[in-house]
């Protein structure tokens, strides 16, 4: 029988500002919680793949992140590595874990994201190579270029971007561990300081200290798991590495390529998606993904999100945990964890009505990378 | 997320591949890499033509004229040597390649997608950077300025 991979455990820390804790401290806690959640023993972990957060990278120029974390965890895995795809890394490392487990390289693969970005000033405000000479700092500048084009080409309004931010904060009010649990009004959104026009403070995700982990397990261990396993129906990954000098770079994401591939592998369609966990580092990225995945026609995402459609109680809830904009910056791993919670039916006050299919996305670097997971109860 | 590090201007760090570009700028010339095999013009410089993978690309001067593909107005200062507000733009050169630069000598409110711009060279810490100034208005390239839904 072919080995299938499932998600067997989830775990995470609180998200917020914890200057007294290192990223490794947070990551070890998340890893321990994920293994406990699965009901497995630490010595059964035989795979480790990590998503080092933006503040970490390669630690000292020599030591890769997984090596240091594996040392702290005291494990000797059969399969190990780190992937650096920016915000696409979390879903990408889970994809890699699925491939490794299904190929028989390991059976219990720990996937860990962690960072202490809030306690590491400037970690998101870095210059972009030589383009720093022109003041291009932070991911926000590139996303502002994309937002400006979307507004210009399609008439998308700041009020439509606001819908994404307002929905995220409304969702997060029902997420006990969320970093921002206060509602956001349109008036507050409009009054906020601009960061890089056309994006203001509320268009930008939170910065957090925190860690999250997912345990990818071979289905032949399903009987040993404490909770109902989450199936992985499909996965995909695509990158656009030919730089932003390429035509169309700021108009579409690699999601337009790997999204349809992932759905084809899963044997389901966008119409089957009950819960959409869309990577939301900036509001504009949610709109672009709605188009790139085909939830609406190109140029119509602004109208798609209007009138609370993606908020709590809306007809197409996006990121019921609040996502990066309100739950906290959890790489993309917290998006996966919320999908698992929704599919298990343990999301508490924010639980959707028996969702069966979840889409999880990751998006990273200079809008260069994208990853897709399609999960099922 | 305040600016960190030294107060020194974050100047480009020319590499083997980008040195021709930055050296030309010091002579007030804008240039791009050109493939000797397929004629593809590209930037930044690279060891190979990114289109046909032929080696040893040539470097040629270009007109310095282009159009604004998109722009972002920085209202927050990220580096003490580059105080906000300023405009970062993606400029499509007449010859094809797109580059990140600044739109200067006009109010941020005067910048728009599709406006025509021309290169100028401004000194930062004694190093000439290619920036762009608006020259009249009106794009001729529908892929830049026109709504795709027509």
- Say if CB A55 and CB A10 are below 8 A apart: no
- pLDDT of residue A250 exceeding 80, the answer is yes
Name chain B contacts of A244, Cβ cutoff 8 Å.
90, 98, 100
- pTM exceeding 0.90: yes
Name chain B contacts of A207, Cβ cutoff 8 Å.
1
pLDDT band with cut points at 50, 70 and 90 for residue B148? very low
In this prediction, residue A53 carries a pLDDT of 82
Q: Compute the average pLDDT of residues A10-15.
A: 98
The complex's ipTM works out to 0.93
pLDDT digits (tens, 9 = 90+) for A259-275: 999 999 999 999 999 99
Domain residue spans of chain A: 5-121+207-224
Mind giving me the DSSP string for A1-18? ----EEEEEEEE---B--
Q: Compute the average pLDDT of residues A351-357.
A: 97
Q: Is B9 on the interface with A (CB under 8 A)?
A: yes
CA-CA distances (angstroms) from residue B87 to A157, B80, B133? 20, 16, 11
Task: Count how many Cα atoms sit within 13 Å of the Cα of residue A161 in the half-sphere of its side chain.
Answer: 28
Q: Do B131 and A134 touch (CB under 8 A)?
A: yes
Q: Do A207 and B1 touch (CB under 8 A)?
A: yes
In this prediction, residue B136 carries a pLDDT of 73
Strands A47-52 and A108-116: parallel
pLDDT digits (tens, 9 = 90+) for A15-64: 999 999 999 999 999 999 999 999 999 999 999 999 998 766 555 666 88
Q: Do B101 and A194 touch (CB under 8 A)?
A: no
Q: Burial level of A103, CB count in 10 A (0-12/13-18/19+)?
A: exposed
Q: For residue B1, give the nearest of A125, A128, A145 by CB distance.
A: A125
As beta bridge partners, residue A361 has A372
Domains of chain B: 14-61 (no CATH), 63-141 (2.40.50.840)
How many beta carbons lie within 10 A of that of residue A342, not counting itself?
26
The CATH H-level (homologous superfamily) assignment of domain A5-121+207-224 is: Thiolase/Chalcone synthase (3.40.47.10)
């Amino acid at each position: 029988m072919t080995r299938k991979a499932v998600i067997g455990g989830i775990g995470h820390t609180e998200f917020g500002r914890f200057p007294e804790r290192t990223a490794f401290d947070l990551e070890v806690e998340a890893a321990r919680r994920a293994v406990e959640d699965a009901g497995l023993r630490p010595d059964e972990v035989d795979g480790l793949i990590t998503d080092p957060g933006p503040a970490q990278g390669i630690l000292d120029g020599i030591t890769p992140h997984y090596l240091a974390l594996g040392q702290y965890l005291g494990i000797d895995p059969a399969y190990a590595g780190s992937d650096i795809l920016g915000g696409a890394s979390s879903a990408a490392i889970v994809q890699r874990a699925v491939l490794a487990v299904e190929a028989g390289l390991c059976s219990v693969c720990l996937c860990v994201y962690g960072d202490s970005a809030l306690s590491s000033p400037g970690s998101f405000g870095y210059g972009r190579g030589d383009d720093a000479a022109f003041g291009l700092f932070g991911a926000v500048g590139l996303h502002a270029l994309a937002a400006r084009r979307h507004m210009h080409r399609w008439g998308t309004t700041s009020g439509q971007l606001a819908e994404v931010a307002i929905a995220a904060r409304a969702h997060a009010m029902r997420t006990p561990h969320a970093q921002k649990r206060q509602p956001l009004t349109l008036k507050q959104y409009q009054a906020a300081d601009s960061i890089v026009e056309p994006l203001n403070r509320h268009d930008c995700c939170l910065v957090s200290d925190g860690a999250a982990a997912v345990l990818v397990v071979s289905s032949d261990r399903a009987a040993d798991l404490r909770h109902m396993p989450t199936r992985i129906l499909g996965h995909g990954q695509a990158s656009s590495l030919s730089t932003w000098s390429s035509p169309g770079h700021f108009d579409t994401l690699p999601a337009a390529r790997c999204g349809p591939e992932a759905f084809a592998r899963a044997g389901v369609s966008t119409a089957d998606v009950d819960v959409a966990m869309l990577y939301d580092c900036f509001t504009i990225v949610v709109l672009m993904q709605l188009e790139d995945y085909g939830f609406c026609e190109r140029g119509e995402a602004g109208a798609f999100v209007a009138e609370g459609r993606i908020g709590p109680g809306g007809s197409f809830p996006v990121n019921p945990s609040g996502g990066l904009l309100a739950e906290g910056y959890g790489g993309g791993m917290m998006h996966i964890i919320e999908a698992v919670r929704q599919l298990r039916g343990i999301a508490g006050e924010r639980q959707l009505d028996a969702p069966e299919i979840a889409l999880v996305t990751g998006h990273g670097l200079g809008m260069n990378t994208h990853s897709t997971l399609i999960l099922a109860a | 997320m305040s600016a960190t590090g030294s107060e020194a201007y974050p100047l480009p760090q020319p590499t083997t591949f980008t040195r021709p570009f930055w050296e030309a700028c010091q002579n007030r010339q804008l240039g791009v890499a050109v493939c000797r095999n397929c004629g593809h013009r590209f930037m930044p410089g690279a060891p190979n033509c990114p289109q046909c993978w032929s080696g040893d690309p040539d470097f040629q001067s270009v007109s310095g004229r282009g159009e604004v593909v998109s722009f972002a107005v920085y209202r927050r200062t990220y580096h003490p040597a580059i105080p906000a507000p300023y405009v970062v733009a993606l400029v499509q050169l007449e010859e094809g390649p797109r580059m990140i630069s600044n739109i200067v000598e006009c109010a941020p409110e005067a910048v728009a997608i599709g406006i025509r711009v021309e290169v100028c060279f401004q000194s930062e810490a004694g190093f000439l950077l290619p920036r762009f100034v608006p020259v009249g208005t009106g794009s001729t390239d529908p892929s830049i300025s026109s709504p795709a839904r027509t």
